[in-house]
Chain A
Amino acid sequence: MKLLHKTTLYLLLAALPISLGGVFLLHAVIHRYIRHEIDELLASELIQVKEQLRQHPPPAAYLPGWDPNVQIRLTGSPQSAPSVYSDTTILLPGEKESQPIRMLRATYALGNRYYGITLQQSYLEFDEIARALSVGVIVCFLLVVLVLVGADILVTRRIWRPFYGIVDQLQHYRIDGPDEAQFPVSNVAEFTLLSQSLDEMSRRSRQQYIQQKQFTDNASHEMQTPLSVLSFELDLLQQSERLDEADLDRIQRSQQEIRRLSAMNQSLLLLAKIDNHQFAQNASVNIGELVTQILDNYTDFAAHRCITITRLIDKDTHRLLNQQLAEVLFSNLIKNAFRHGAANSSVFVEVSTSRFVISNEGDPLPFPEDQLFGRFVRNQALSQSTGLGLSLVKEIAEQYDMRVRYSYVSGMRRHMLLVDF
């Protein structure tokens, strides 16, 4: 739910009980005020009646018709009760429903005669006024609420504009992009503070990113250079006429170790780079084509070892990946299958829109299955392995939310590796 909707909802929720309570309160106040006014009216009328009775005391027989609005009768006993106001209803002639009225009863002693006076005043007109007033007030109140909500929406939109500007910047921000992020400044102090903090944060992380990138690049250079020197020197030494077979063998093995060290160095740097998210540029990679290309490189080796390759490749399988990482991922898995595949067996490869599968025949793993993707876990029998190939596979797959699974079918003695796209 948007902040705007939320505030509007709360505003309306608060307005509802207030307006309901307000209606009752208003009605009660107006009613009370009107009753007070009617009471004053009745009181002044009573004084007038008393005055008329005193000046022109009518004979008892004329009393009922003496004043049509006033009922006066003679009471025998001198009830000196005080004036009593009361609410009641009467059925007026010509009306179907009984109407609420205000009634005043009083006793007036004039000489030895006692008059019981009853005065009535209908609430009718006053109630209509009260109703009209209430309706008017409610309408005004609703209008005010409406205007408030509308103003809230407009103002909120305006006020939050810089916020959305900042969010937009954040969404388009790339740590490896060519430009530093510039977050918009606004006249709202909170947003300016947010902008400044983000500026500061992005600048710091960008600096760290550049430092990391430089470090990995330099580490690569600094380590590959001495390895190159060693390799070159051995290349030159190998040309010497004076070496015997054992010497040449030593040179070969040294070269092999240099290659392994170099591969390990590159794999570790690649892992570091993946951890640092230095491979941001993705493109749609045709996995079917890529896998076919890599497999073709192994046909000679497979033929040499009498390994048949069974392919089930959908050539139109695309996925958004970094080209270099995709190559590392699939070539490591394929190389693995050929390196560990037994002679005179088969390697099965499947590429479909949902997954990549490769399986090869071979002895069970010499280490626990759950260590397969760990760094430096390798089959000690293979001297040239770096133990990093499958770690890279896992790391790359995780980077792109793909799942890598391993299983060993002991009945068929087959290792199977699956990548779910």
Chain B
Amino acid sequence: MKILLIEDEPALLVAMRHYLEGEQYNVSTASNFRKASEKIHDYGYDCVIVDITLPDGNGLAIVNELKAAHSQAGIIIVSAKNSLDDKLNGLDLGADDYLTKPFHLPELNARIRSLMRRRQHQGETQLCFGDITIMPNRKHVLVAHQPVDLTGKEYDLLLFLVTNKNRLLSKAAIVEHVWGDYMDGIDSHDFLYTHVRNLRRKLLEAGSPDYITTRYGAGYIFTAGE
């Protein structure tokens, strides 16, 4: 999957690239508006991640150019400004998603995956991990072909863990993804533990192996090997 990263801050660019390459994406980068504009005209991408504030232009203009060229690429805007106007403008122009800095890298990955699932396949898509099959279109989860009854939040939690499999996910990153900004500043330690425990119990009862590994004090890893 080809991704173009447009970001003027070198440290951010390197970190994002490193992480995304670890997720098996094919990542190209551009550090200013001119280079980004050239690249989107010369190559096709599946996904473009664009920072709004660029030294020689506005990231929103990139969105415009992509739309003018009838590009099929998914667009995720990244901004340091938590501005409702920017967000609405960006989405109006045809961007698919909007992320406010600072965010967790697994969150960026989850957004890309979700966007790609929505874009690439019109029909039924499946996400498989071991004995678990997730059908995102219907929010269905099967373990060994038997449906598992999960709550909405348990489903979101499972999807986030599977999307970022084999990665250590911090509790803060998980809570922020599943419950949104509302939980920031709230002590969510036990809260998340309860939900993970319920999810684990339901999967085990359905006959799935225990894929969720707890790293004490840090978070959770969804992995097959132990």
Q: Are A335 and B15 in contact (CB under 8 A)?
A: no
| A232 with B80: CB separation less than 8 A | no
Is the beta-carbon distance between A252 and B184 smaller than 8 angstroms? no
Q: A221-B53, A229-B9, A252-B171 known; A236 and B218 CB under 8 Å?
A: no
B19 touches A259 (CB 8 A): no
Complex Cα gap A266–B16 (Å): 23
Q: Give the CA-CA distance A231 to B182 in the complex, in Å.
A: 19
The answer on a CB contact under 8 Å between B12 and A252 is no
**A residues near B105, Cβ cutoff 8 Å:** 232, 235-236
In the assembled complex, the CB of B14 is this many whole angstroms from the nearest CB of chain A, namely: 9
- Nearest-Cβ distance from residue A252 to partner chain B, whole angstroms: 6
Number of contacting residues on A, CB 8 A? 48
In the complex, whether B90 has a CB less than 8 A from a CB of chain A is no
Of A65-73, A112-120, A188-196, A294-302, the segment with at least 4 beta carbons within 8 Å of chain B is A294-302
Let me know if A198 is at the binding interface, CB within 8 A: no
* Residues on the B chain within 8 Å of A292, using CB: none
* A324 contacts B by Cβ under 8 Å: yes
**Is A384 engaged at the interface, CB distance under 8 Å to the other chain?**
yes
Are A255 and B15 CB-contacts (below 8 A) given A263-B184, A324-B84, A384-B185? no
**Complex partner residue of A301 from B11, B184, B191, CB under 8 angstroms:** B191
- Interchain CB contact under 8 A, A301 and B101: no
Interfacial chain B residues near A305, Cβ < 8 Å? 191
- Shortest distance between the CB of B148 and any CB in chain A (Å): 19
Provide the bound-state CA to CA distance between A225 and B190, in Å. Answer: 31
Chain B interface category by residue count: 35 or more
CB of A331 within 8 A of chain B?
A: yes
Inter-subunit contact B186/A301 (CB<8 Å): yes
Give, as a whole number of angstroms, the nearest-CB distance from B11 to chain A: 4
B179 contacts the other chain (Cβ, under 8 Å)?
yes
Q: Is the CB of B80 within 8 A of A228?
A: yes
Question: Does B113 sit within 8 A of A, measured CB to CB?
Answer: no
A323 at the B interface (CB under 8 A): yes
A56 at the interface (CB under 8 A from B): no
Confirm or deny: B168 has a beta carbon within 8 angstroms of a beta carbon on chain A. Answer: yes
Q: A232-B19, A233-B15 are in contact. Are A335 and B186 (CB under 8 A)?
A: yes
Taking a contact as CB atoms closer than 8 A, the residue among B104, B153, B184 that contacts A300 in the complex is B153
Complex: chain B residue closest to A383, CB-CB: B187
The 9 A-B pairs at the shortest CB distance, nearest first, are namely A248-B218, A232-B15, A224-B80, A228-B102, A231-B102, A221-B80, A249-B217, A324-B84, A228-B101
Contact residues of A with B, CB < 8 Å? 217, 220-221, 223-225, 227-233, 235-236, 238-239, 245-246, 248-249, 251-252, 255-256, 258-260, 262-263, 266, 294, 297-298, 300-301, 304-305, 323-324, 331, 335, 338-339, 382, 384-386
Residues of B participating in the A interface, judged by any CB pair closer than 8 Å: 9, 11-12, 15-16, 18-19, 22, 53, 80-82, 84, 101-106, 153, 167-168, 170-173, 179-180, 182-188, 190-191, 194-195, 215-219
